[in-house]
Amino acid sequence: MSVLLVLEQSCGKTRRASWEALVAALRLGPAENITAVVIGAQTEALAAEAAAKPVGKVIRVEHPLLAQYTADGFCAALQQLIQNESPTEVVVFSHTYQVRDYAPALACRMGQVLIGDVVAIEDGPKFVRQLMQGRLIGSYRHSGIGPCFVSVQAGAFRPDATDTRPGAAPAPITTFTPTIDAAQIRTKPGEPFRASEQTVDLGSAQRIVSVGRGIKEAANLSIVQELATALGAELAASRPICDNGWLPMERQVGSSGQTVAPRLYLAVGISGAIQHLVGMKGSQCIVAINKDPDAPIFEVADYGIVGDLFEVVPALTEALKAAKQ
Amino acid sequence: MKIIVAIKQVPERDAQVRIAANGKWIDEADLQWAMNEPDAYALEEALLLKESGGACGEVIVVSAGPERVGSTIREALAKGADRAIQILCDDLNGRDALGVARLLAAAIKPENPDLVLTGLQSEDLGLGQTGVIVAELLGLPHATMILHVEKTESGLKVKRELEEGWFQSIELPTPAVLTVQSGGNKLRYATLMGIKRAKTKDLRTVNAAELGAEGTPAVVLDQIAAPKKQKSTQILPGSAKEAAAALVEKLKTEARVL
Ligand SMILES: Cc1cc2nc3c(=O)[nH]c(=O)nc-3n(C[C@H](O)[C@H](O)[C@H](O)COP(=O)(O)OP(=O)(O)OC[C@H]3O[C@@H](n4cnc5c(N)ncnc54)[C@H](O)[C@@H]3O)c2cc1C
């Protein structure tokens, strides 16, 4: 299959998720059939980096109006590129916030539908993605004519196969200049900012007790705080806890919060949605306490207790205290 | 400001889901239903915008799905939406994201709203595309993962969430489409008065077929299944006390993390 792989940059560097998308692309076609696309206003260095990877060629999509990401700019540029590169059978992206923002519109413009957040590719090709917040998976297939658009989930495709090819000549690089008019770009994006100063560094914590919506009320947090103290652990949380203001946002673990990899991660009343899992999957030992035996958190846990956290958590605190004596 | 909020009814968060006999969707018998959470935040943002804008605003809810979706629409009306459009459609799950967006866009277009809001994704299919495609079909600018909306002289200024705790402001003209992220506001509850009033509010139903928005799907969901385990989990049995003691022992001697 002929594959167009759209790479994404952050601060002038290709994002790691893009190299994971390359692994997915290599499942669809041999390296020589893969065209890597870098997009922006100054893409020379990005293109050189991509040319050293196992790809057939690299295209620089360059235009001054692409300096800053906008959905309108990227859709216009990539639509022209795809039409110019036809026939392209598959267009592969990483499933980032940016891709979520424009790829559905780009696909729609070409009469297609993005198969988003893919976790596996099977023969066919069939594209597997999660449903029901990770409790089920679904197998999807492209049925129309024209290019198939696919974005892959962070962490689902391991990027070791994408190492540079020592000794091989770099892939050829060409430049494509789309026609974009400033009036086409309707949104005016501002510079990224952070909400507040970080005062806790969860990233370096050895042990973390993390609490989710199963705790039900802010007043109940004391039982997990006591458990964290008994363990000598930092307290962290899933997003709804921070959204509710029960804990500060800097203690949120997940794709829109912190990424952590402690020796012990104890998840209390957390279901294990993918946006949470990406922030803690790398922990050495994962323990889950949840009343639902089918909660997706158990898919990544080393140890699990299926039960009511209001019974299990105090019992665990007691057991830890007893073990210390 | 005339605001349309597209909402979806999804299985309740704690509902036990079973795969249907045909393996293509979940068994919908005995399920409890609720408003998709990000859509509830979209509705909240719409109601706040209306309340801050004086008397001239209107919030209209639109939802596609079978008969049962009516209960979620009534909930939105009880919370303060002014009226609603229900697109009756029994095959929502057989349509791809473009197919569903076509229905919504066709129902929204004649209303000529200043703003269309919807949740950033649904809790069942999790496609996260509907709002963006609706914008494309209506020819409107859009922004996604929005936590806060402010009206300005020339349009809107919105707060967009980025990855890893970063944010960004975006300015865009109206009319526009925004997809709303959970957590930007506190959700209100319907009051008793609201629930009473909702019964008399205008809920117009339209059959999907009448919208002239049909097309063949570009993407097909063939089969659903339980996920494969990534690790073999040791489940510690017994009472809370027994399980806790067993866990401490394992963490000490097996995992060596204490
Ligand atoms: C773009 C985007 C970014 C996101 N970023 C993040 C992020 O950074 N971090 C994050 O965490 N989420 C994030 N989310 C939200 C994520 O999708 C989930 O909604 C969230 O993680 C759910 O939190 P939870 O597990 O605490 O709650 P729920 O999913 O409601 O789970 C609660 C769990 O508690 C269990 N439970 C309930 N009562 C008890 C009891 N008495 N005893 C034991 N167990 C009990 C239930 O069985 C359930 O499994 C993001 C979502 C989106 C769309």
| B214-252: pLDDT as tens digits | 889 999 999 999 998 777 899 999 999 999 999 999 999
Least confident segment among A119-133, A153-167, B34-48, B115-129: A153-167
* Rounded distance between C-alpha atoms, residue A51 and residue A49, angstroms: 6
Peptide bond before residue A189 is cis, with ω within 30 degrees of 0: no
pLDDT of residue A144: 79
Query: Is residue B54 over pLDDT 90?
Result: no
Separation of CA B235 and ligand 1 centre (Å): 21
Structure-token pair, residue A324: 């210390």
In this structure, are B256 and B149 located in the same domain?
no
Closest protein CA for atom 19 of ligand 1: A273
In this structure, are A152 and A234 located in the same domain?
no
Candidates A90, A93, A131: best to mutate against B (most CBs of B within 10 A) is A131
Q: What separation in angstroms does the CA of A282 have from each of A94, A129, B97?
A: 20, 21, 33
Looking at residue A311, which CATH number applies to its domain?
3.40.50.1220
Q: Are the beta carbons of A90 and A127 closer than 8 angstroms? A: no
Which are the contacts of B188, defined by CB distance < 8 A and separation ≥ 6? B44, B47, B79, B80
Separation of CA A302 and ligand 1 centre (Å): 19
In a domain, B222, yes or no: no
In this structure, are B243 and B181 located in the same domain?
no
* Rounded distance between C-alpha atoms, residue B135 and residue B140, angstroms: 5
Average pLDDT score over chain B? 95
pLDDT in tens, B84-99: 999 999 999 889 999 9
In this structure, are B31 and B142 located in the same domain?
yes
Query: Is residue B5 over pLDDT 70?
Result: yes
In this structure, are A71 and A206 located in the same domain?
no
Among chain B residues, the shortest Cα distance to A98 is held by B162
A155: left (phi over 0), alpha (psi -120 to 50) or beta: left
In a domain, A259, yes or no: yes
Which are the contacts of A241, defined by CB distance < 8 A and separation ≥ 6? A211, A212, A213, A215, A247, A252
In this structure, are A219 and A266 located in the same domain?
yes
In a domain, A282, yes or no: yes
Least confident segment among A23-32, B46-55, B200-209: B46-55
In this structure, are B182 and B86 located in the same domain?
yes
In a domain, A127, yes or no: yes
pLDDT of residue B6: 98
* Span A218-230, average pLDDT: 98
Which strand (E) or helix (H) includes residue A114?
Answer: strand A114-122
In a domain, B146, yes or no: yes
Candidates B98, B146, B163, B187: best to mutate against A (most CBs of A within 10 A) is B163
Q: How many domains does chain B have?
A: 2
* Rounded distance between C-alpha atoms, residue B227 and residue A272, angstroms: 13
Please give the share of chain A, as a percent, with pLDDT higher than 90. 90
In this structure, are B183 and B247 located in the same domain?
no
Query: Is residue B147 over pLDDT 70?
Result: yes
Cβ of A303 within 8 Å of Cβ of B167? The answer is no
Q: What one-character DSSP code corresponds to residue B211?
A: G
In this structure, are A141 and A222 located in the same domain?
no
In this structure, are B159 and B258 located in the same domain?
no
In a domain, B171, yes or no: yes
- With 0-12 / 13-18 / 19 or more C-beta atoms within 10 angstroms meaning exposed / middle / buried, residue B70 is middle
Query: Is residue A108 over pLDDT 80?
Result: yes
CB atoms < 10 A from the CB of B142, how many?
27
Which strand (E) or helix (H) includes residue A276?
Answer: helix A274-277
CB contacts, 8 Å: A301 with chain B? 231, 233
Q: How many domains does chain A have?
A: 2
In a domain, A117, yes or no: yes
In a domain, A142, yes or no: yes
Write out residues 174-233 of B within 8 Å (CB-CB) of A: 182-183, 216-231, 233
Distance from CA of A165 to the nearest CA of B (A): 30
In this structure, are A22 and A50 located in the same domain?
yes
Q: Which of B141, B168, B219 sits opposite A192 (nearest CB)?
A: B168
B174: left (phi over 0), alpha (psi -120 to 50) or beta: beta
Cβ of B231 within 8 Å of Cβ of A299? The answer is yes
In this structure, are A171 and A256 located in the same domain?
no
Kindly give the pairing relationship between strand A114-122 and strand A90-94.
unpaired
In a domain, B106, yes or no: yes
Domain that holds residue A139: 3-184
In this structure, are A107 and A234 located in the same domain?
no
Domain that holds residue B187: 2-211
Candidates A16, A75, A114: best to mutate against B (most CBs of B within 10 A) is A114
Separation of CA A169 and ligand 1 centre (Å): 47
In this structure, are B36 and B137 located in the same domain?
yes
Q: B175-197 b/e with 16+ CB inside 10 Å = b?
A: bbbbbbbbbbbeeeebeeebeee
CB contacts, 8 Å: A302 with chain B? 231, 233-234, 255
In this structure, are B65 and B148 located in the same domain?
yes
Q: Nearest CA to A200 among A242, A154, A163?
A: A242
Cβ of A242 within 8 Å of Cβ of B183? The answer is yes
Q: Which of A111, A294, A307 sits opposite B218 (nearest CB)?
A: A111
Q: DSSP secondary structure string, A160-171?
A: TTT---TTSPPP
Looking at residue B168, which CATH number applies to its domain?
3.40.50.620
Average pLDDT score over chain A? 95
Q: Which amino acid is at A121?
A: I
Least confident segment among A6-20, A66-80, A150-164, B52-66: A150-164
* Span A242-259, average pLDDT: 94
Separation of CA A250 and ligand 1 centre (Å): 17
In this structure, are A148 and A268 located in the same domain?
no
Candidates B104, B137, B232, B247: best to mutate against A (most CBs of A within 10 A) is B247
In this structure, are B203 and B240 located in the same domain?
no
In this structure, are A16 and A92 located in the same domain?
yes
Q: Which of B182, B216, B222 sits opposite A139 (nearest CB)?
A: B222
Closest protein CA for atom 31 of ligand 1: A271
In a domain, A152, yes or no: yes
pLDDT of residue A165: 72
Cβ of A316 within 8 Å of Cβ of B244? The answer is yes
pLDDT in tens, A274-284: 999 999 999 99
Dihedral of the alpha carbons of A93, A94, A97, A101, in degrees to the nearest 10: 10
Query: Is residue A166 over pLDDT 90?
Result: no
Write out residues 125-184 of B within 8 Å (CB-CB) of A: 125-129, 132-133, 135-137, 141-145, 161-173, 182-183
Q: Which amino acid is at A236?
A: A
Whether the model pTM is above 0.90: yes
- Considering A124, A153, A184, which residue would you say is the last residue of a domain? A184
What are the φ and ψ backbone dihedral angles of A272, each rounded to 5 degrees?
95, 40
Closest protein CA for atom 9 of ligand 1: A254
Which strand (E) or helix (H) includes residue A309?
Answer: helix A309-324
- Considering A155, A184, A213, which residue would you say is the last residue of a domain? A184
* Rounded distance between C-alpha atoms, residue B136 and residue B91, angstroms: 23
pLDDT of residue A28: 95
In this structure, are A152 and A22 located in the same domain?
yes
Separation of CA B181 and ligand 1 centre (Å): 14
CB contacts, 8 Å: B219 with chain A? 113, 115, 140-144
pLDDT of residue B208: 97
* Rounded distance between C-alpha atoms, residue B179 and residue B185, angstroms: 14
Residues with CB under 6 Å of ligand 1 are: A 212-214, 238-240, 252-257, 269-271, 273, 275-276, 279, 290-292, 295, 308-310; B 13, 120-121
In this structure, are B142 and B247 located in the same domain?
no
Least confident segment among A43-57, A192-206, A310-324, B199-213: A192-206
* Rounded distance between C-alpha atoms, residue A183 and residue B7, angstroms: 32
In this structure, are A92 and A208 located in the same domain?
no
* Rounded distance between C-alpha atoms, residue A108 and residue B193, angstroms: 42
In a domain, B150, yes or no: yes
- With 0-12 / 13-18 / 19 or more C-beta atoms within 10 angstroms meaning exposed / middle / buried, residue A324 is exposed
In a domain, B69, yes or no: yes
Q: Name the band, by pLDDT with cuts 50, 70 and 90, for residue A161.
A: low
Q: Which of B101, B230, B247 sits opposite A305 (nearest CB)?
A: B247
Separation of CA A31 and ligand 1 centre (Å): 39
Looking at residue A50, which CATH number applies to its domain?
3.40.50.620
In a domain, B24, yes or no: yes
pLDDT of residue A187: 98
Separation of CA A133 and ligand 1 centre (Å): 9
Q: What separation in angstroms does the CA of B257 have from each of A253, A277, B178?
A: 20, 20, 45
Which strand (E) or helix (H) includes residue B77?
Answer: helix B69-79
CB contacts, 8 Å: B156 with chain A? none
In this structure, are A170 and A28 located in the same domain?
yes
In a domain, B102, yes or no: yes
Q: Name the band, by pLDDT with cuts 50, 70 and 90, for residue A14.
A: very high
Ligand 1 atom at shortest distance from the alpha carbon of B121: 53
Alpha helices in A64-217 (DSSP H): 71-84, 97-109
Query: Is residue A163 over pLDDT 70?
Result: no
